[in-house]
Structure 1
Amino acid sequence: MYLQISDLKKELILKKGILHFDFTASALALKCVEKEISKILPTYANTHSDSSLNSFKTQQIYEQARKDIKKSLSLDENFALIACGTGSSSAIKKFQELIGIYIPPLVKERYFTQIDKNTLPLVIVGPYEHHSNELSFREGLCECIRIPLDKNGEIGFDFLEKTLQKNKKRKIIASFSLASNVTGILSDYKRISEMVRKF
C-alpha cells in the first residue's frame, strides 16, 4: 500500500488532543501498518526454523519483504541487506563485527591504545549520518572521516574524491546513509558507490 503524505494523518494512531512533533527518531504507528502486522501475528514463528508450517510461512514473508525492500531501492546482488530487530544501531554493529572493526570498548582501551591510524582501515561517512553509524565507527578499530556538505548543501563529492585519492593504498570502507532522517535529503548512493569502487 502506497500512501501520500496527506493520507498519513488519517492513518496515525494517536490519542485525541495529543500533539506529536518528534518524527526524526521514532514516528507514530500507522493503522495500515498495524493492520498488516495483525494479519501475520496469528501464524508468526521463528524464521530460523523449518520445523513447522508457521515457521515456513513466516520465513516466506520475511524473504519477500527483503526482496521488496531491495527492489524498491533498486539494489542488486552487490548490495547486502542486514535485517536486525533492534533498528539501525544493531545493523551497523553487526556490519562492523562482520568486517572486523567493532570491538568492545574495554578491549580497545586495554589493548589498542597505541595503534598507528595509517595501518587501520579508513571509514568514510556522509555529512548526515545516524549517530549509531558515525559514533560507533569513531570508537572502532579504524580511522573515520566525515565528508562535509558542499556549497549546495549536498554531499561534497570533490572532498570525497580527494579523500579517496589520498588514501588509495588503504582499505577503504564507505558507510553513507541513503537519506537523512532529519531533512529527508537523499544521497546519490550510486555515484558514491561508483567513486569508492574505483579506489
Structure 2
Amino acid sequence: MNPAILEIQQSIIGNKAEIHTAFGSKPLIYADYTASGRALSFIENFIRDQVLPFYANTHTEASHTGARTTRLREQARQIIRGAVNGTEEDQVIFCGSGATAAINKLTDIL
C-alpha cells in the first residue's frame, strides 16, 4: 500500500472506535465522507500546536497574530492551487465547511 495512504488511514481519529449495540460491541463504520470527513491526527496536531496559539482574524495585519494567520491562509491557498494544477489566473475561494458551502457559494456566484 502507498505509504501516504497508510499514514492517512492510521491517522484517522476514532479509526478503531467501537459502538455498543444490542448485538454487542461492533466496529464503527463511517460512511458519510460526502458531507464530513473524519479528523486526522496530524492535521489536528498542527492546528493545535502551530495555528491556535497565534490565531487571529485575517482582516487585519496590524498585529503579529493577524499577520501570521493571514500568511497561513495565503500559504494554504497556494498549496491548494498547486494540488489542483491551478495557475495564478485561477482563483481559490474559501467558502466555509464542506461541499454544501462550496455548492451554495457557486450557485450564489452564478
- Give the TM bin, normalised by the shorter chain: 0.7 to 0.9
Matches of 2:13 and 2:101, distance apart in 1: 26
Task: Give the helix-richer structure, 1 or 2.
Answer: 2
- Structure 1: runs of 5+ lacking an equivalent: 100-199
Match of 2:58 in 1: 47
Q: Report 1 or 2 for greater relative contact order, CA contacts < 8 Å, sequence distance ≥ 6.
A: 2
Matches of 2:99 and 2:88, distance apart in 1: 21
Q: Which runs of 4+ in 1 moved over 4 A?
A: none
Q: Deviations over 1:74-94 (max 9, x none)?
A: 101332211022233223322
- Structure 2: runs of 5+ lacking an equivalent: 19-26
Match of 1:10 in 2: 10
Match of 2:74 in 1: 63
Match of 1:98 in 2: 109
Q: Deviations over 1:109-152 (max 9, x none)?
A: xxxxxxxxxxxxxxxxxxxxxxxxxxxxxxxxxxxxxxxxxxxx
Matches of 2:102 and 2:4, distance apart in 1: 28
**In the alignment, structure 1 residue 27 sits paired with structure 2 residue 37:** yes
Compute the RMSD of aligned alpha carbons.
2.0
Change (3 A) 1:92 1:82: farther
What is the total number of aligned residue pairs between the two structures? Answer: 97
Q: Which has the larger radius of gyration?
A: 1
Deviation of residue 72 (structure 1)?
Answer: 1.5
Matches of 1:40 and 1:72, distance apart in 2: 21
